[in-house]
Structure 1
Amino acid sequence: MSDDELSRRSLLDLFREEAQTQTRTLSAGLLALESTPTDAPTLEACMRATHSLKGAARIVGLPEAVDVASAMEDCFVAAQHGDVTIDAAHIDALLVGIDLLLAAGDASAPSAREAIDDFVARLAGAGAAAAGSAAVSAAVSSAYPGQETADADDEFARSPDDDADTAAAAETASASALAVTDPSAARASQDRDRMLRVRAGTLDRLLGFAGQSLVESRRMRPFANNLLRVRRAQGEVLAALGQFHERHAPTLGAEARASLAGIREQLAALERQLSERFDDLDRIDRRGTQLAQRLYDEALQCRMRPFGDAVHAYPRIVRDLARSLGKRVRLSIEGETTQVDRDILEMLDAPLGHLLRNALDHGIEDPDTRRLAGKPEEARLTIEARHSAGKLLISVADDGAGVDLAALRRAIVARGLAQPDAVAAMSEPELLEFLLLPGFTMREHVTDVSGRGVGLDAVLNFAKAVHGIVRIESAAGRGMRVVLQLPLTLSVVRSLIVEVAGEAYAFPLAHVRRALRVPREAIEMLEGQQHIVHEGRPVGLVTARQLLGASGAAAHSDDVCVVLIGAGHGADQEAALYGIAVDRFAGEHTLAVQPLDTRLGKVRNVAAAALLEDGAVALIVDVEDMVTSVARLVREGQLAGVARGAQAAARERKRILVVEDSLTVRELERKLLEKRGYAVSVAVDGMDGWNTLRNGHFDLVITDVDMPRMDGIELVAMIRNDPQQRGVPVMIVSYKDREDDRRRGLDAGADYYLTKGSFHDEALLDAVNDLIGEAT
């Protein structure tokens, strides 16, 4: 690709960015002119936008866009002179011009000369070309002193051999979009608002590094606290020497007193130096932590964009759709500056579009009906975004007829979703939940706008995808309101940190109903499953260790830490409620979400990871996946229970790890031990056994000697050299029955050596009983 081609592509990118910005100004201005067609500031803003686009199009060599922008500019200038009044016909034509300008900026779009000629003719036919070309040129020249119109300015003609002039012209055209009186202010504003393209993956990595730097900066504080303790200990030593000097100085010789005085002086000097270094360290710690926090906050802010970026096109969409339905609607957007996570913002277009179409087609009445009902003929439709209680609330509200509950009940029964008696007894919130079901519609006939049953269920699916909820409110004759309650960001999540088998896990607070401590004696059995009673209803109890694949026995206490979770939305929130028993609560924290490596695929019951303040890694629980896992375990009857009461805890079965590469021997030993009441886990070789042992708690290890990857002797040696595992008894069961083999195993640290040649059921069980006693 030649340099000229690369330069042109770069200029086209710049033009597309400018076209997006300027056409947004034009769309807002045209919709404002529909109600106030002679508003001078709005006409001026529209004329400036088209003039800037005309110059930019001339620079990049888009003659079709130049013609469109020129025709639109002529229209606005004529309106400024009073020769033309901007009416609905003009606005319809000018909106088409906006579409043509955006299409012209798309390098992949084909040339549409015929469509552009039709547009120019349509605009002229509407009377937009009443002003003469001389008047237009004069008006534009007066509006832009020192410049000529782009039609007459030969300096805007791009020479393929002059890249420097092209770049200068591009900068001039971009600056014209920020037209202000003071040139220096324009440059400052341009530098401040300049946009750069950054890949999403780069931004995510930057946020991850910022989070790690914040964690690392906080590690300095414990070090400083330890240094402070050393400083205090040194002070105590110095004080002790002073007391020794006061008590024993008379009994010491001159030389001893001089030596003691020298030691005290040196210690005092060291204490001063240590005090100074500690003060320096304290300042470095505070500054480093503050800078790391600011870096993290700024990196996080880079993911946030104003809500207005997602809704700038909706006023025109609502206008066009309302006119096609014969309705008059004014759209109000509140909270355009509300900051929204960029990932959520990019996903909002479809659900908000569904909500707007639903309001326009189903809720808002035609002007005649509204007038008979005593309402203004022009309906009001409002989109609002705001932050509340750590959540992002987005609502779409209209002042239409609201939901016809009688018609809704008939639709529910007609589609066989519930029996008539049950429907008649449902509350209004319960009835409104049916609107969120897939395929549900109250329309009897399909139209171009609605009736296919695709709409509010898509809104619910979006809310579920971002761990939010949907709430519907309706008032008969006064309108309907749909509220999306979403997380502020997908990058940061407020979570409850718990400990399971010595590892940290995070439960997003959006899915945590309660965190409570339950006495073990309060755990009840109901239909073969453990339950606790919460607010008068039984709640199934499941161990987090089983769901997360953690082994080992939990530390026993009088109470059980339980996290109540649910995956329901709206009125069915109580339909799926479970208690997850964890080992310990570790408090609430705001975590920076770090996605798992894609090579891992989907990890069951885990959504992502995060770093805690002490540098430890916490896995963020996927609550909906966890609820699905619980349901599967219930169906298969494999739920593990929580020990109830001190006596039950004492009767917990002892656990044995069998390490054996022979399938026959491994299964024989497992069955023998389980029949006697022991809990048995198995491993296929020494390495597998070592990994299993480290990730769980076992009362005994039974191992073979000859195995792949790691033999039994090496396994015994590793167990005896590990501080946490060295106390676990080890029994070797091997075909090697020579005394040398037996001595080698015992010397490695085995507690018992049993040969397979003399192996029989009772010999193995007696040896196990000798080492660890009965199973319970």
Structure 2
Amino acid sequence: MSKDFNSKDLSRLSMLEIFQVETENQTNILTTGLLELERNPTAALPLESLMRAAHSLKGAARIVNLKAAVQVAHAMEDCFVAAQKGNIYLAKEGIDVLFKAVDLFLRLSKLPEQDQAIKKTVVSGEITALLSDLGGLIQHQNFSEGREMTGNVSLPSASNHQQNFPSSLKSADSEAIAPTPFNRIQNPERVLRLTAENLNRLLGLAGESLVESRWLHPFAESMRRLKRLQSELGESLDGLRETLGAYETSERVGDQMGQALDRLIECRQFLSDRLGDLEMFDRRSTSLSHRLYLEVLQCRMRPFGEGVQRFPRMMRDLAHSLGKEVKLEVIGEHTQVDRDILEKLETPLAHLLRNAMDHGCEMPEKRRAAGKPVEGTIRLEARHSSGMLMVIIADDGPGISLNDLRERVVEKSLVARDVANKLSEAELLQFLLLPGFSMKDTVTEISGRGVGLDVVQNTVKNLRGTIRISTQPNKGTRFQLQLPLTLSVIRTLLVRIGGESYGLPLSQITRALKLPSSKVERLQGRHYFTVGDQQISLVTAHQLLECAPPNSFDDQLSIVVIGDRTTKYGLVVEALLGERELVVQPLDQRLGKIKDVAAGAVMEDGSPVLILDTEDLMRSLEKLIGAGELNSIQNSTIEIENKRIKRILAVDDSMTVLEVERRLLMNHGYFADIAVDGMDGWNAVRNGDYDLVITDVDMPRMDGIELATLIKKDPLLKSIPVMIVSYKDREEDRLRGLEAGADYYLTKGSFHDKTLIHAVVDLIGKAEE
């Protein structure tokens, strides 16, 4: 991201640091101008900005005595001057050479921080070759005047960059340095440089000020209650005076009663006046604190364009390497985004754009045959919508074939064919986000490993966002990321657990509901309820957070459903307290990572609240299930059952198959360990205590047949049942497995229905003893 500093900030930096900031700004200008010039070679405006940027770089490099960079910048400037005069035409090959110069200049700006003894000779050789290439572009001009074209390019020492700016530059070929981002700042107080830590502390204080201001509201409410009590007291005194009037009382009693009523009226008027002042101060204080918080929060916001500056160049180079003609349209460059979100989005956006280039855009001849423009379009858009940040990556390619995707899902044994045929388009497209899943048969440097979209999914999830995929035949594919505008404020569902309030991020909750205890069912020792055709297991949040549960729950259970598409759990809490927008307060780093807790916050009344980490809660759940320590819920009481849960070892060299098997077994109450091949499985079964081993056949280092043979020959392990699950469904393969000692032989196409579970129950019984 580009940086601007005021004059006070510049005094704190070394000359080299100032030069590096200038280089980043000017090379961004060069990259943008070269891309524009490539699209419109006859345009004059890009050439003017390119010349200014190259000239500024040359002057800045000369100031810090970086002669190698001066040579590169001067050669670039000569090319732009020649192009402006019409002496040369900068075609694709020329643009490529100039981009090499931009890249090398960036490296040179950072070179003094590296080991010069190692880099000097290599970089000098590159400079000589690059200057020769640049000279070839303007071979009809004498561009080498004023500089030496030798192989030994002198590089500056680090000490040279700690000096101050010279008062004047007296070299014979010195030229007036064009305005730069530094001397363009006419008002030096307009921009202030802050560290991220300072800004975070400032935001924390503003958040605390906002919380403190809200404390006045309940105080004002208590004053209003006192006013109501005074009114009631006044009515009681009036009634007492009327009662006394019916009797003969002394004149003194009447006078005292009158004085008491007058004093009460005076108190009520005084309280009313002060309460009005307090309410006005409350409104002003809350408004001021809220405005202060928004202003500080705005300091964390950066234009979306700052985080995507490198993408046009990346897509241009990628298109050339693939032989495609593609343009990248960036929409919403001025959309404000939280700095932390913008930084973390860079990698997933790069993956999505590379995928769009490789998968989404066809080769020129195919586009021509399909009646499309030869040049494909990839759109990167950012906008605000309903209080959220929407980032869209869309291409105009052929779209994703749902039939091919369905076949791929079945081929990888992720679901059975009859299940795949029933999946909706949205459900089917979600398989693209699974780790290791790819629609390509061959792996290239760009894609094919099934890693990129998994990275996107994990990053978006960590940012408390969601991702949605849509596609249209022959019109393209669209990825829509929905993210919070800032990580500093989070919308949560407040719940009560163990008498304390906790927050659960709304983006990580599937649903919240009140469930009659009569709808809770019991299966294999675990309680669950049914939503649609899905069974959701119930667990008390008290056990996860290790706090004392209540003696009993209400007949209406308060449940928060968490989890992903395949595995969901219902957390039973004491009460659902409603939605709240909380200012996130990071926990002290000295505490380390606290189990199941993501951050803290402060309520309006000043009371602290912990924000829970649902991903961590899921991991804690699986550990409890595996250890057989999960408490069971029985309508209105909690009944602790220390029953042993049976353990199964799954062995396969496919991580996808292992994950499907593990989740399937755990959803039916078993605990599942995994091993990545036969050797790993053999080591695990000897060191663990398992009730069943499920293994594939074809695996590296040791196959499933050999594993089964070793288990059955070992006197201590031979009683463990072995089930083989393989793609091979020929009779001779089945007989070979059974002869090795396997107790069951199934094909992988069968373990997504009840067949696998039925076989497991036949061999070892239900999950709990």
Q: Give TM-score, length-normalised by structure 1.
A: 0.69
CA separation in 2, counterparts of 1:510 and 1:302?
Answer: 25
CA separation in 1, counterparts of 2:602 and 2:630?
Answer: 31
CA separation in 2, counterparts of 1:267 and 1:399?
Answer: 78
2:543 counterpart (539, 542, 546):
546
Answer yes or no: is the 8 Å Cα contact 1:249–1:257 preserved in 2: no
CA separation in 2, counterparts of 1:652 and 1:433?
Answer: 38
Answer yes or no: is the 8 Å Cα contact 1:8–1:60 preserved in 2: no
Amino acid at match of 1:99: D
CA separation in 1, counterparts of 2:310 and 2:178?
Answer: 22
Deviation at 1:401, TM superposition (A): 2.5
The match for 2:23 is 19
CA deviation map 1:646-677 (0-9, x unaligned): xx66x999xxxxxxxxxxxxxxxxxxxxxxxx
The correspondence of residues 626-645 of structure 1 with structure 2, limited to 5 A, is: 626-644=617-635
CA deviation map 1:515-553 (0-9, x unaligned): 221222222223322222323543222222222222142
The match for 2:214 is 218
The correspondence of residues 11-410 of structure 1 with structure 2, limited to 5 A, is: 11-106=15-110, 107-109=112-114, 110=116, 111=120, 112-127=123-138, 130=141, 165=167, 176-177=180-181, 187-188=186-187, 191-192=189-190, 194=191, 196-199=193-196, 201-231=197-227, 233-234=229-230, 273-405=270-402, 407-408=404-405
After the TM superposition, which of the residue ranges 630-639 and 479-488 deviates more from structure 2? 630-639
After the TM superposition, which of the residue ranges 325-334 and 106-115 deviates more from structure 2? 106-115
Deviation at 1:255, TM superposition (A): 8.5
Aligned in 2, Cα 1:555/1:38: closer, same or farther, shift over 3 Å? same
SS in 1 for 2:350: helix
Q: Give TM-score, length-normalised by structure 2.
A: 0.70
The correspondence of residues 561-576 of structure 1 with structure 2, limited to 5 A, is: 561-566=558-563, 568=564, 573=565, 575-576=566-567
Deviation at 1:409, TM superposition (A): 5.3
CA separation in 1, counterparts of 2:139 and 2:508?
Answer: 58
CA deviation map 1:603-637 (0-9, x unaligned): 33322221111112222122222233334444444
Answer yes or no: is the 8 Å Cα contact 1:75–1:129 preserved in 2: no
The correspondence of residues 593-632 of structure 1 with structure 2, limited to 5 A, is: 593-632=584-623
Aligned in 2, Cα 1:432/1:45: closer, same or farther, shift over 3 Å? same
Aligned in 2, Cα 1:8/1:451: closer, same or farther, shift over 3 Å? same
Answer yes or no: is the 8 Å Cα contact 2:384–2:390 preserved in 1: yes
Identity within the alignment, %: 44
Answer yes or no: is the 8 Å Cα contact 2:520–2:527 preserved in 1: yes
SS in 1 for 2:445: coil
Aligned in 2, Cα 1:95/1:226: closer, same or farther, shift over 3 Å? same
Aligned in 2, Cα 1:273/1:389: closer, same or farther, shift over 3 Å? closer
1:488 counterpart (482, 485, 490):
485
CA separation in 1, counterparts of 2:633 and 2:587?
Answer: 30
Aligned in 2, Cα 1:441/1:52: closer, same or farther, shift over 3 Å? same
CA separation in 2, counterparts of 1:290 and 1:555?
Answer: 43
The match for 1:710 is none
The match for 1:733 is none
CA separation in 2, counterparts of 1:516 and 1:35?
Answer: 56
Deviation at 1:494, TM superposition (A): 0.8
CA separation in 2, counterparts of 1:545 and 1:8?
Answer: 53
Amino acid at match of 2:379: T
SS in 2 for 1:594: coil
CA separation in 1, counterparts of 2:487 and 2:516?
Answer: 36
CA separation in 2, counterparts of 1:102 and 1:133?
Answer: 22
Amino acid at match of 1:187: Q
Deviation at 1:497, TM superposition (A): 0.4
SS in 1 for 2:39: coil
How many matched pairs? 603
SS in 2 for 1:176: coil
CA separation in 2, counterparts of 1:409 and 1:588?
Answer: 39
Deviation at 1:509, TM superposition (A): 1.0
After the TM superposition, which of the residue ranges 373-382 and 622-631 deviates more from structure 2? 622-631
Deviation at 1:31, TM superposition (A): 0.8
The correspondence of residues 672-751 of structure 1 with structure 2, limited to 5 A, is: none
SS in 1 for 2:32: helix
Amino acid at match of 1:598: Q
CA separation in 2, counterparts of 1:422 and 1:258?
Answer: 90
Answer yes or no: is the 8 Å Cα contact 1:89–1:126 preserved in 2: no
Amino acid at match of 2:432: L
Answer yes or no: is the 8 Å Cα contact 1:400–1:479 preserved in 2: yes
Q: Is 1:474 the equivalent of 2:471?
A: yes
1:501 counterpart (498, 516, 533):
498
RMSD of Structure 2 on Structure 1 (CA): 3.8
Aligned in 2, Cα 1:159/1:316: closer, same or farther, shift over 3 Å? closer
Deviation at 1:425, TM superposition (A): 6.2
Aligned in 2, Cα 1:90/1:611: closer, same or farther, shift over 3 Å? same
Answer yes or no: is the 8 Å Cα contact 1:49–1:177 preserved in 2: no
The match for 2:758 is none
CA separation in 2, counterparts of 1:120 and 1:484?
Answer: 44
SS in 1 for 2:585: coil
Answer yes or no: is the 8 Å Cα contact 2:15–2:164 preserved in 1: no
Aligned in 2, Cα 1:517/1:75: closer, same or farther, shift over 3 Å? same
Amino acid at match of 1:126: L
SS in 2 for 1:34: helix
Answer yes or no: is the 8 Å Cα contact 1:59–1:166 preserved in 2: no
Deviation at 1:53, TM superposition (A): 2.5
Deviation at 1:336, TM superposition (A): 1.8
The match for 1:586 is 577
CA separation in 2, counterparts of 1:113 and 1:179?
Answer: 32
Answer yes or no: is the 8 Å Cα contact 2:491–2:579 preserved in 1: yes
Amino acid at match of 1:618: V
Deviation at 1:272, TM superposition (A): 5.1
Amino acid at match of 1:596: L
Amino acid at match of 1:207: L
Answer yes or no: is the 8 Å Cα contact 1:563–1:579 preserved in 2: yes
Amino acid at match of 1:57: A
CA separation in 2, counterparts of 1:621 and 1:337?
Answer: 33
Aligned in 2, Cα 1:496/1:7: closer, same or farther, shift over 3 Å? closer
Answer yes or no: is the 8 Å Cα contact 2:301–2:339 preserved in 1: yes
Answer yes or no: is the 8 Å Cα contact 2:632–2:639 preserved in 1: no
CA separation in 1, counterparts of 2:251 and 2:582?
Answer: 65
1:518 counterpart (515, 519, 522):
515
Deviation at 1:244, TM superposition (A): 7.9
